[in-house]
Chain A
Amino acid sequence: MRGASLEIREGEIFGLLGPNGAGKTTLLECIVGLRVPDDGEITVAGLDARRRTRDVQQRLGVMLQSTALQDKITPREALQLFATFYRSAADPDQLLERFSLTDKANAMFETLSGGQRQRLALAIAFVNRPDVLLLDEPTAGLDAQSRRELREEIARFKKDGHTVLLTTHDVDEAERLCARVAIMDGGVIIATGDPRALTADSASMQSVSLTTKPPLDAALLVDIPGTLDVTSDGNTITFRTPDPRGTLRELTTRLEQSGTELLELHVQRATLEDVFLRLTGAENDR
């Protein structure tokens, strides 16, 4: 990691986005004290995380990417055990209920499904009533139902006024949950901001697709200024443009002149994925 600098505001959900190996987990581990950075400052809830590690740990709720517990421990025992380590702790039974684990309270960890294990890991992250929640790839490997439940829980935590930092390589998840994101690649933060602001970046193009009868000849579009990546698939033709309004105006004129009927038209703004792919260079590799 080089020169990573971030500020996460109180009460917001902040996403760290990046491909595998980008350095997201390393950054998170520096914050929670699992790694010692060579240099720099880390402040959590106004506390110097490098000097007052114990105080910071009292206020942090952490869910690691690959949290496992002993095979024979039960969710209730695990929550009771972790609760004793903190000055202030939530009631284990309430946490079991909140994370839909009451039925499995006395089941051994080795018998829990992937989703149940993730929910237990999140419950443990909540056991000390944290001010700040750090979640490393919280929905990785979960089915759709479990993913949705977990996202609802994270959104609820934010609603209660708490701060969340989560790492993900799921762009859709970051876009849905996060007020702001930072995009990392190769150990460097390459962009930070509101997902909408990032997608509205002038360098991002919007995607246009139209279906006509008869099918449109792709050559008709190539000379319209600003059109890029024109592809055709039967009756449908797709292209990208930085100026959809101007391009569509010109296109409509040409359709009328050629007597072609427009059956369907979609204009889609750039997604966070487009921004992510463009910034991380993944697009060029495809």
Chain B
Amino acid sequence: MIRAAVRQSVVSMRLYFRNPLAMSYGYLFPTIFLAAYWGLYRFDRVPLVRHMGELLTVTVLGGACFGLPTTLVSEREKGVWRRYRLLPVPVAALVGSTVAARYLLVVTAGLLQLALAMVIGMPAPQHPFDLWLAFTVVAFAFLGCGLVIAMMADTVPAVQALGQTIFLPMLIIGGIAVPIATLPDWAQHASAFFPGRYAVEALQACVTGAGIASAPFSVSALLVVGVAGCIAGAMMFRWDEHERWAARADRGWVIVALAAWAGVGIAAEFRGAVATPRAASNAPLASPTRQTDIVIESAAGSIQTLRATNAEVAAGARPTATPNTAAPSPANANAVSTFTGTHPSSWQAVSQADIDRDLAFDRLPPDGGIITPIAAAIQQPDPGTAEFVASVAAALPAWAPGSVADPVQRARNLLYVAAVPDLLQMDIERYVPAVIYARLQEQTARSDLIKILYWIALHPFDGDDRAVDEMASLGLPPASATNLDDVRARAAVYGVKLLGRLIGRIDTDTK
């Protein structure tokens, strides 16, 4: 029996690799999605790693909701399954081996997608084993859906039609192709009823988050959808194309499969975590392409501009990092700012007048936006995120770059810890700044910290940025795939935001 099931899986996979159309569905389609995401986001420096959950979900969705039923239905149409029915083996072994083969194919497509993404610069997933587990759960959920589609459809075109009715809404309002945070409120609620949303959440938690354990609801939702789909598919199983709705109960089983989706959606609504924090805050979203000038033109006419988005910075020569930050290097001054005599020559010389003159706290990106978010006091992270944030906080005192002697470099390094999760759009991004703020205040006297944060805001490209690649002990991925200028720029913006809090220029309840 096992030998037969293994042989059938092997044959299924061989046949798949001989079918150019199936291959293009399974491998080319996910690769095109990957290329599209890469093309879309690389100019905005939003890393691919943040979208692996969506990309992998598309891969599983294509293989399981289209690939599996297409194969099953086309074989049934030809009479292959009618012939299989005469074999002295249980139906579960035959269907199980076909599904197992499909699972392996989907895994290879996912691995290909990951490998390609890493070739073009994506850092390795944070939790590879968890990612495999989550991928398996997602595949289970969608293979269950695929089985139901296979039993409902008589012909391959019918599979395509049914598949599209699930695939397209899930892509658009299900949180796969369009980020949930950017969807209107009604669509965010609708997305809770599609398993695609949970697939993205579970996978993404393993790529950039705290692992599969941080997404228990998503994993449970996928398991419920998968179990319902597999049971309904098994109960509706038919060998022959003419046996559709042979049993009156078949329609009931379709309802069972759909009820699982509805049940998961309702449970999510009751749980109250359907709308994302970003949308819940109703804060205007800062466009990542907008130049954010938080350092204003000085009265003396010198132009000091911090470019939070880096088209111009990248175009100019990035200064060589120097460990000595006591004074701005001439190269740096040429690249991003021009100093004239009215400005302090060292961080120690910074005065309140300098801050008032040079920093525009009202031009900061909103705390509830995409760039440099900071959670409001009332905002509570979900347990997985909270755990991750706590682990970063716990590891911070022992993190060497956070304890270097030079107080400016030390502050820069700590601000990078806030900037990296922001750039990687990790779930912890809005909660880490508070940890950094506390750590900065612990280490540095308030009067010095004010001066240092001002100094960093005006000299974001000074100092060393090696710490960006030394965050493994904090549980953060290496951000080398991202542009280091971006990290420095975000760190500077966070510096100003924390400075605003320190001197009471930012009302944390409204910002």
CB of A72, distance to nearest CB on chain B (Å) = 4
B11 / chain A contacts, CB cutoff of 8 Å: 73, 77, 81
Q: Which of A54, A62, A69 contacts B80 (CB 8 A)?
A: A69
A247 / chain B contacts, CB cutoff of 8 Å: none
Known contacts: A58-B88, A67-B83, A77-B11. The answer to whether A84 contacts B4 by CB under 8 A is: yes
Chain A, residues 37-70, CB within 8 Å of chain B (1/0): the string is 0000000000000000111011010101011111
Q: Which of A34, A60, A69, A85 contacts B89 (CB 8 A)?
A: A85
A60 / chain B contacts, CB cutoff of 8 Å: 86
B325 / chain A contacts, CB cutoff of 8 Å: none
Contact A34 B87 (CB under 8 A): no
Q: Does B290 contact A (CB under 8 A)?
A: no
Q: Does A80 contact B (CB under 8 A)?
A: yes
Contact A57 B88 (CB under 8 A): yes
Known contacts: A73-B11, A108-B18. The answer to whether A62 contacts B86 by CB under 8 A is: yes
Chain A residues touching B, range: 20 to 34
Count how many chain B residues have C-beta atoms less than 8 Å from C-beta atoms of the other chain.
21
In the bound complex, CA of A70 to CA of B88 (Å): 20
A71 / chain B contacts, CB cutoff of 8 Å: 19, 78
In the bound complex, CA of A72 to CA of B89 (Å): 23
CB of A60, distance to nearest CB on chain B (Å) = 7
A72 / chain B contacts, CB cutoff of 8 Å: 14-15, 18-19
Known contacts: A67-B83, A68-B80, A70-B15. The answer to whether A81 contacts B8 by CB under 8 A is: yes
B83 / chain A contacts, CB cutoff of 8 Å: 64, 67-69, 124
Contact A67 B79 (CB under 8 A): yes
In the bound complex, CA of A81 to CA of B239 (Å): 19
Contact A68 B78 (CB under 8 A): yes
Within 8 A of B (CB), among A60-103: 60, 62, 64, 66-73, 77, 80-82, 84-86
Chain B, residues 53-81, CB within 8 Å of chain A (1/0): the string is 00000000000000000000001001110
In the bound complex, CA of A267 to CA of B15 (Å): 59
B3 / chain A contacts, CB cutoff of 8 Å: 84
B82 / chain A contacts, CB cutoff of 8 Å: 34, 64
In the bound complex, CA of A18 to CA of B498 (Å): 92
Q: Does A32 contact B (CB under 8 A)?
A: yes
CB of A23, distance to nearest CB on chain B (Å) = 17
Q: Which residue of B lies closest to A67 (CB)?
A: B83
Contact A77 B88 (CB under 8 A): no
A124 / chain B contacts, CB cutoff of 8 Å: 83
Q: Does A186 contact B (CB under 8 A)?
A: no
In the bound complex, CA of A55 to CA of B88 (Å): 7
Q: Does A33 contact B (CB under 8 A)?
A: yes
Contact A80 B7 (CB under 8 A): yes
CB of A250, distance to nearest CB on chain B (Å) = 58
Contact A57 B87 (CB under 8 A): yes
Within 8 A of A (CB), among B207-264: 239
Contact A70 B79 (CB under 8 A): no
Q: Chain A: residues with CB nearer than 8 A to chain B?
A: 32-34, 53-55, 57-58, 60, 62, 64, 66-73, 77, 80-82, 84-86, 108, 124
Sample (7) of A-B pairs whose CB atoms are under 8 Å apart: A58-B88, A68-B79, A69-B80, A69-B83, A84-B3, A84-B4, A85-B87
Q: Chain B: residues with CB nearer than 8 A to chain A?
A: 3-4, 7-8, 11, 14-15, 18-19, 75, 78-80, 82-83, 85-89, 239
List 13 additional A-B contacts (Cβ < 8 Å) besides A67-B83, A71-B78: A34-B239, A64-B79, A67-B79, A68-B79, A69-B78, A69-B83, A70-B15, A72-B14, A72-B19, A81-B8, A85-B88, A85-B89, A124-B83
